[in-house]
Structure 1
Amino acid sequence: MMISPSDLSVMMLAASDELLLVVDPSNRHIVAANPRAATMLGLTVDELIGRPITDLERSLPDMFYWNEVASGHHQEIALAEGLYARTDGSLLAVEKSIRAIESNGQDWLVIRARDAQARQNVESELEHAMSMLRATLESVAEGILVIDLHGNIGNFNHRFAELWQLPSELLREGDDQVLFDRIWGQCKDSEQVCERFLELREARDSLSFDTLELLDGRVFECRSCPQMWRDQVLGRVFSITDITERMAVQHELADARDKALAASRAKSDFLSQMSHELRTPLNAIIGFAELLQEELGQEQQASLQAITGAGWHLLDLINEVLDLAKVEAGRLTVESKPVELSALLHDCLTLVAPLAERRAVRLAPLAAGQACWVMGDERRLRQVAFNLLSNAIKYNREQGEVSLHLERQANTMTLAVRDTGIGVSAEDQAKLFQPFSRVGSKQKTEEGAGIGLSFTRQLLQLMGGDISLQSEPGRGSVFTVNIPAAEPPRASQPTAAAPMAPAPGTDDITVLYIEDDPVSRLLLTRVFAKQATIRFFTADSGASGIALCEEIHPTLVLSDMNLGDMTGVEILQALRNRPTTCQVPVWALSANAMPSDIAEGLSAGFERYLTKPVDVAALLNAIRSWATSQPGTEFDI
């Protein structure tokens, strides 16, 4: 018997993804089927219609059910498991429901079934996904807490419970408020932390970052963000990280940095103090030696020249130590501008010529040619050249030779300094550029601190260059310097010199020297005593110097920077604040010779800053030049 689709509304489910069969309970034959049923069972719809349902169902509960139907019972089944035989011999596990309906006075049984394996697969996949999500949540190093929009705890991992030391019995109770009270109570500022939590619960779209300090000394980093599903906020996710060790390391690093800075400052202060303490006696040694050269006979000249030379050599060593310290501290700066290297080398050859003559070493002339321009600091390049030339002379042999060779290669200028001296062994070459390292037997008989070559290399590296050595004992050495080449600068248009003001008479010069060191006062007193056109006065303290300045109205004041009662800056300010002395030029003359000291002095208002030991001739020339020039004109001393 066929059933019309119009008689059964269930047939509207022909496109459903469920198996749908209509069975005549009187004979248990299938009277209608949907395409999905045919597909699931491996038959066509026509093949299903008219087939006994008992040919298809294979489970014992199915057989018992249809036996009951045959006896006249039309029991409805809400959900049951069953098996269907497929044409390929396999069995299809299903979940099914059976419902009785009436149409046109006829009873029918409608079977709806779903592939149970598909559901099981979906459930298995869902369970696997949830397991993976949970495993991921438990594997992270941070403690994770998820709350809903009302502040109720939705989820958390074991790390969160571990960080906040939440006991298991408390977790089993599941009382959110008790848990939160336990958490807030561990924080130093529990009220503020609780208020922050309530604030974040209301600020649904915001991100947060907070640092929590606990009563037991631990420090937590707390981040949170909204929990989103598509464009809907479901709650908030908190991530807690224990940063106690990191903070401890940061504090240790900060302490180490502060100690390093303190050590660096102490080193700088020590070098500055040592420079001051060494320069003050050197001022007397060099100054009086120069005065004695003018007073004593020819027999004593050689001795006085040795004293003066030794004094200036000690000053060079002091400057080298200070420069090396600045390089190591990263505070030494160099200029970068075009420098004509061949002219600079000619000047250096002239300076070392007396040393070469005394050592019986021949200086080969630098071949005349076109100008050789490099990019660097002229003063520092002069130090480099002078150091290499003096070393080549000192460690040469009698009747030896020193020669220079310049060559440009692409963007690099190469300077080779060659000598015919004692040479350096391969073992000693590795030590030669280390600070305070002196190698070879002749080093012990020559003056030096062993820092020249180390400082030379560091200077060159600051200017973008470097230095290397090729040497063989007994056959001499070649130091090769590489420095970036430069193009000649464009010639600038000459500017007209400013007109000179009428020069005051030099017999109008009155100099006041404020200095508490008696030896330094005695030295300049002896120096200026020979200058008939300069009146010279001294004061041994800041207070007496200020009073004397108001009394004699000097043309120029020279002031030390550290007196017993006042600093040089305080003396300068006191003179500037008095109407009778506010216009008097004040020069600093101090053993404080660090660049920072000089910069501080000039910024305080000193017109010039001279350092000890003072070059007597240069000082006198500077005063004469200043006195005969316009106010404010600067001269090199």
Structure 2
Amino acid sequence: MAERGRTARGCRRLLSGAAAVAAVSLSAGAPGAARADTLREQASALVAQLGPHQMLAAAFTCGVSLFAILLAMQYLRLHRRTLRERAATRAQLATLRAETDRIRTLLQLDRQVIAVWGGGADPEIAGDIEIVGAAQPLRVLAFGAWLGAERAGALETAVERLRERGEAFTMMLATHAGRHIEAEGRAIGGCAVLRLREATGARGEAADLAERLRRAERDATILRSLVESLQVPMWVRDATGRLTWANAAYAAAVDAGTAEAAVGRNIELLDRADRQAAAQACAKHGRFEKRLAAIVAGERRQLDVVEIVNRSGVGAGIALDATEAEQVRSGLQQTITAHRRILDSLATGVAIFDASKRLVFYNPAYQRLFGLDRAFLDEHPADADVLDRLRAERKLPEQADFRKWRDNFLTAYHAIEPQEQGWHLPGGRMLRVVTNPSPDGGLTYLFDDITERIDLQSRINQLSGLHRETLDNLAEAVAVFGSDGRLKLHNPSFTRLWRLSPDSLAARPHIEVIAAWCQAMCNENVWSVLRATVTAIGGRHEPVARRIERADGSVLDATAAKLPDGSTLVTFRDVTDSVSVERVLTEKNEALEQADALKTRFIHHVSYELRTPLTNIIGFAQLLGDPAIGPLNAKQHDYVGHITGSSAALLAIIDDILDLATIDAGAMTIEPSEIDIRETMRAASEGVQDRIAEKGLKLVLDLPHGVGTMQADGRRVRQVLYNLLSNAVGFSPQGGTVALSVRIEADAVVFRVADEGPGIPEELKDKVFERFESYANGDSQHRGAGLGLSIVRSLVALHGGEVRIESAPGRGTAVTVRFPVKHAMAAE
């Protein structure tokens, strides 16, 4: 019972709660609270009337119904909310559409393009894309297509910063089409917005001015950098003429160190007179231009100076270094002058015509070649007029149709390459004519008179044939090898001498082949030397000469010499007979030399052996003539005198022979010392006093005042003078005169011995100095051993002097002896 009671109570509470919930739920949607109270009362009465089981079933049914009611009520509530939200949405949409229309209307007031980057990668683009010249919306963002590279890069960088960091920007752009676009970037509501708006009106003008200013600043910066970097002095002056700016080149030119120093110290590049002239020209014409001389970095240079001024009086100047140009101009002028001098000195006639076919230059050879009047040539005649003048004077080739020939000849003005012609002139002259067109349309003529050359060529051809015939008939064997070593030319003697086949030589074999053929006939390897000479390359080679002894006993003289063209001339001469005779003569000469040496030794020995007994004879003869020994009759005294004189003469001959033998042996030397010239001459003359007295001669000694000393071997000088006096005395006639004189020259002492003898014929002058040669004629009985003059010449030669003889038949003889000395001292 208790359990049932608890169950009943639970059902009541459940029904009461459901009724309350339903009432509350209905009250939320019912039109009034009365309906809710009625429902609550009906639910309580129903619960009181039910039993426990009915109450449980009723509670269950009521719960299900209540759930269904709650669902229906919730649906109704949601439906009403949806209706309200839909109505609010419609109102808001209408408001947004109105706002959108208003914004679109505002956007359309300006020509602009807007790009919005939201959550996606591609932006939304709206507006007039034609302002940037784009055909598609996305082409708007291809900034490089409608902007310059610099501005396009700056805009791309700004857009990237806007999208990544939200950095706003504003910039003015100029498109390729010349439009001015204002670009503005903002971050709005988490989106990046780029607006491109065309600047028109005042903004466009301001943008245009700003762009011009930017370009001007850029250009000014570039120009300033360029001017600063130029190696040309430039400067700016104010209205008073003072420097206000200069570049680094100006500072270097005036040695100021820096441009600021040059401006601060107002250092001028030009002289005062040049500056005054420039200021006057600028004041009058606004410009000054002249080539001036100035000191640039310590060197004197030629400058092309240009100065200009504006209306406010501010001026600028520049100085271009024209020194090299002046040098080049001067050099060009000198070159032209030199070329004219060269052309004037040429034997080739040169005539230059300009593009108008008028003569502008001719050299003397051209005038002489054709004999034209200088006055006519100096008037710069036309080419056709010159040809007409030459034709009238018959100095052109004879032509049937001269006008046609002239017109064809003048087509050389339009040619590209030089042309050459040969002119056969009346009278037999031949000219070589070269026409050389110039780039400026003119024409240069070169005329060479080749008459003589053609004649010489004809003569050369004749001489060549003559030389060929001469070569073929030479007894010497001749062969010419080219620079490649092959045989170029040979004569029949070469073929016969070396027993070669003409057919084999016709193939022009190499020197190696010919050497192999000929070497078998030689005892020595001489052909290797000839082969080395033929194949030698470059340089100058001395001729090679070799003697070849062949196996057959013949002897050849071979020579090889290089020719100017690089060829080698090889000649062979058969000297077998000459060598045989030479060998015989050599053997005979050797035998003669041995005999002469034997004779010399014999004479030296005999002379030495004769000297001792002769000395005894002279001594005994002198004793016999001495009165202390005993008196002699007149006849005995004469005999003793003859013995003494003959012995003395014989002793002199023996002494001469000994002296010659000593000279021949190379054993004689001179002993120079300071000798008295006067005493030497007197001592030599005393030796012939007896013979002079015997023949009744007169001896004249010519001793000029002031004759002093000389450096020489005194004994040998006396011997020379004694022999000359003895020879003169021997050939002098009875009562004649013998003269001995001396004169001092700058580098020699000259003795002269003259006689009045019969003289010497011209053909015998050279023989009188030979040994054992003596000359005598019908007027003179003198005939010596022929040693005196030979001794004289040998002794004078030892002193380094010379002997001269002057004689003619019937006019006497004079012998002059020159002794070279370093100095001759005058007597005090």
TM-score (norm 2): 0.32
Tell which structure's C-alpha radius of gyration is larger. Answer: 2
Q: Kindly indicate whether structure 1 or structure 2 has the higher relative contact order, using CA contacts under 8 Å at least 6 residues apart.
A: 1
Question: What is the TM-score normalised by the length of structure 1?
Answer: 0.40
